[in-house]
Structure 1
Amino acid sequence: MRAAREGGDFKAHLQAALEAAPTAAQDDLTRAAHRVVDVAAELPPQLGCWFANLAGALAESGADVDGIPVIERLSGVSSGALTFAEAWGPHVPAAEDGPTPDIYRETQAILGDRTRIAMQCWYALPQFASAACTLLSLSPATRAAVDDTDELVDRAAAHCPQLDYVRDLRRVLDGEQLLILDRTTRQGWGVEIHGVGDNFQLHTLLAAVLVPDHLPGRPVDPRHVDAFTTGESSPMTPIVTGWWNLVDVNGEWIWNEGVPADIPLFGDSRVLVLDPPSYERSWSPGRRFPLMPATLTLTATYDPADLTAWWPTLKPPAR
């Protein structure tokens, strides 16, 4: 870190840190990570982005990383990157191609004194985005501490698609209680979710706890449960075929392509209604965010008599 601040060969030091991380003790990794995330946030973007990536690598090696400084720095980097992109208009240079003297001169003609920081932000943005995805995936505490949305980051996603993943990771519902109502059988359950990255995952894990013990149907393949919680799917793992249409209390579809946070609150609860499938849906097994482990736990089974007030409230499914 001293090399970065004083202009030394910090890349060599970073490479050495990356090579040492897999065999380091967790306490040592965590102490190093606390310093690294702060430096990533303090240094100019073209240097800070390397430390942001190092923080992600330390987290993957087992460090308990507070990713908040990197996530907050990403907002500022996104702002600078947007300044650069708006200066260039529809012909903005690709960040992955790297800067050139010609790009600097053309940008300076438009932005003047703001050129250097705007260019640094533009070319550092992909690395900050990658680091943010890693840190948000691996740290529920970081996810809990950041806001669900960041306007600057969301706008910059038009130029850096990985920021779409950052947006959805910020919205992950950890420790959220959902009320599940099956319209056909008039049964209901409570479930708690952690680390569920999309509704393909939610749909599959919900079936794993309800079918066939509580609802009739085809049991979930254990390989699918593994792939959507903590494991990996292999090329030999078959595709998943869905069990229901998922809708909200207003009858609007909850698309598998969305995220659990798309389920609207009804009072203090997110309510998910199960309807018979209108057509067969299939999807590939595996987590959208492979580094983020997930759980879905059955927390309550409700007596049908306790649910009678719900059924008149539910609107029929939209067609």
Structure 2
Amino acid sequence: MSLPNIADQIVRAALVEDQTFGELLPQLMQATQTASPAELNAALPRLAEGIAEAPPNLGGWLAVVTGACVEQGADPAPAGAAVVDRIVDVAAAAMAFADAWEQSAGGRPLPSMQDEQPSQQIFDTVSTALGDSAVTAMMSWFALPQFAMAGCTVLQMAPSVRAGIEDRDFHAFAAGKAAQHLGQMDHYQALLRVLDGERLLVLDRASRHGWTVTIGGIGDNFQLHMLLAGALIGRPGGLTGDRPAPEIIAAFLDADAPPGPPVVSSPWNLVDAHGEWIWNEGVPADVPVVNGTRVVVIDPPSYERTFPAGRRFPLMPATLRVEGMHLPEDLDAWWPHIKPATR
């Protein structure tokens, strides 16, 4: 049986909660491993319907399969968008379950999402507080790890899905609440903050030169730091210093880190237009906007920062393009808005 046919059958079973779902799931997973790209792409729209409409405990497994298809090169839309949209509802229902449990369980710890299963006893504990929504809330609690895993895969590998998220702050708020109970939702929330096609103005305080760069798929400021070094050191009109080796730059772009991985050193201190440090543990979205543009200022390093080569999100390729260089006289209107470093 072809992958699209299996996908159609399992979605039919999921929508009516038929027991054949459990029999078809291994077949679906096996079929995705040998399917052609055309078959993967043909199956995903049907899986998207199941993700959107099936009960969360079944939709979560369809989401996991969707993530596997995307990893194998399938077009992530529209199934990827269905995963991201459903996570909001599943996370909200899971948090309702957590609240009801804390009200009604007499101090007993919350059930483990990974190590326990829905049960009559768990349902009875929350049913009074949740009423008719108790089943959905309980199933969402146990399905959240599957949705989180699939969501992290989709957001890493699908810039189009990231770009299509409406009301990203609402998605991030839901993910942030769920991250209190499931660590992977912290990664999911961070992925929601990834910037794509974002222009930054990079200013070198010492030379008064500047550059406009466009970034995408950068998971943290460690990565931003090293990609700026790769782009600006040694280029005509660029900065002096030791440019990272090509294999190191590649590890921060789209390649696997060399074995080890090697420890790299940041060549600068980065601050924002207000003089506040841009912490490596943060993300480019933390950099404040000034006059419609995020501004990064390069200062000499105040101490040596070292960290392992590689990306926080290994499945997410990054880009950093230098769009243009600005001479000191081009930046006269900018420097009055730039404060000295606060440290």
TM bucket, shorter chain: over 0.9
1:164 paired to 2:186: yes
User: Which amino acid in structure 2 is aligned with residue 148 of structure 1?
Assistant: R
Conservation of the 8 A alpha-carbon contact between 1:14 and 1:54: no
Aligned partner of 1:199 in structure 2 is: 221
Instruction: Please identify, of 268-277 and 2-11, the stretch whose mean Cα deviation from structure 2 is larger.
Output: 2-11
Unaligned stretches of 5+ residues in structure 1: none
Q: 2:328 aligns with which of 290, 304, 308?
A: 304
Aligned pairs (5 A) from 1:103-122: 103-122=122-141
Q: 1:250 aligns with which of 257, 265, 274?
A: 274
User: Which amino acid in structure 2 is aligned with residue 121 of structure 1?
Assistant: S
TM (norm. structure 1) is 0.95
CA deviation profile, 1:12-35 (whole Å, cap 9, x unmatched): 423223222243222221121121
Instruction: Please identify, of 155-164 and 46-55, the stretch whose mean Cα deviation from structure 2 is larger.
Output: 155-164
Instruction: Please identify, of 246-255 and 158-167, the stretch whose mean Cα deviation from structure 2 is larger.
Output: 158-167
Q: 2:196 aligns with which of 174, 186, 196?
A: 174
Aligned pairs (5 A) from 1:1-319: 1-6=11-16, 7-66=18-77, 67-89=80-102, 91-99=109-117, 100-146=119-165, 147-149=167-169, 150=171, 151-213=173-235, 214-319=238-343
2:199 aligned counterpart, secondary structure: strand
Hey, what's the Cα distance between the residues in 2 that align with 1:225 and 1:68?
A: 31
Hey, what's the Cα distance between the residues in 2 that align with 1:111 and 1:165?
A: 29
Conservation of the 8 A alpha-carbon contact between 2:261 and 2:310: no
Hey, what's the Cα distance between the residues in 2 that align with 1:17 and 1:137?
A: 23
| Distance verdict in 2 for CA 1:234–1:317, change over 3 Å | same
Conservation of the 8 A alpha-carbon contact between 1:188 and 1:301: yes
Quote the offset at 1:86 in angstroms.
Answer: 0.7
User: Which amino acid in structure 2 is aligned with residue 308 of structure 1?
Assistant: D
Quote the offset at 1:143 in angstroms.
Answer: 0.2
Q: How many residues align?
A: 319
Identity %: 46
Hey, what's the Cα distance between the residues in 1 that align with 2:261 and 2:152?
A: 26
Moved over 4 A (4+): none
User: Which amino acid in structure 1 is aligned with residue 284 of structure 2?
Assistant: P
Aligned partner of 2:5 in structure 1 is: none
Aligned partner of 2:3 in structure 1 is: none
Conservation of the 8 A alpha-carbon contact between 1:148 and 1:167: no
Quote the offset at 1:109 in angstroms.
Answer: 4.6
Cα RMSD, aligned residues only: 1.6
Instruction: Please identify, of 304-313 and 43-52, the stretch whose mean Cα deviation from structure 2 is larger.
Output: 304-313
TM (norm. structure 2) is 0.89
Hey, what's the Cα distance between the residues in 2 that align with 1:96 and 1:22?
A: 25
Quote the offset at 1:88 in angstroms.
Answer: 1.9
Quote the offset at 1:65 in angstroms.
Answer: 1.6
